[in-house]
């Protein structure tokens, strides 16, 4: 399952990169705005990668609760 999530993430990033190519190469867009959008995108990417890496560790830590019967 983890490989599937990685593949889907890579595909989404490629599609987003292809879609934003016109934005980043357009000379009419102010340089500060391009830098801000790139920084926000990089931050979101960092958060998603961190979430994907920590989620399996959290699942492994959880132990089933014991019931008294």
Residue 20 pLDDT: 85
Residue 64 pLDDT: 63
The answer to the question of residue 67 being in a domain is: no
The answer to the question of residue 34 being in a domain is: yes
The answer to the question of residue 41 being in a domain is: yes
pLDDT band of residue 66 (cuts 50, 70, 90) is low
The answer to the question of residue 9 being in a domain is: yes
Q: From CA 20, how far away is CA 18, in angstroms rounded?
A: 6
pLDDT, tens digit, 9 for 90 and up, residues 8-52: 877 887 888 888 888 889 999 999 999 998 899 888 888 877 877
Instruction: Answer yes or no: is pLDDT of 53 > 70.
Output: yes
Q: From CA 46, how far away is CA 28, in angstroms rounded?
A: 28
Q: Domain range for residue 23?
A: 2-58
The answer to the question of residue 8 being in a domain is: yes
The answer to the question of residue 45 being in a domain is: yes
The answer to the question of residue 63 being in a domain is: no
pTM equals 0.60
Tally of domains within the chain: 1
Residue 60 pLDDT: 63
The answer to the question of residue 6 being in a domain is: yes
Q: From CA 9, how far away is CA 14, in angstroms rounded?
A: 9
Q: From CA 51, how far away is CA 63, in angstroms rounded?
A: 20
């Amino acid at each position: 399952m983890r490989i599937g999530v990685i593949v889907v993430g890579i595909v989404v990033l490629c599609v987003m990169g292809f879609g934003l190519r016109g934005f980043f190469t357009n000379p009419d867009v102010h340089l500060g705005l391009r830098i801000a959008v790139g920084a926000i995108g990089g931050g979101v990417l960092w958060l998603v990668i961190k979430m994907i890496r920590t989620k399996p560790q959290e699942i492994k830590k959880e132990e089933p609760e014991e019931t008294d019967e």
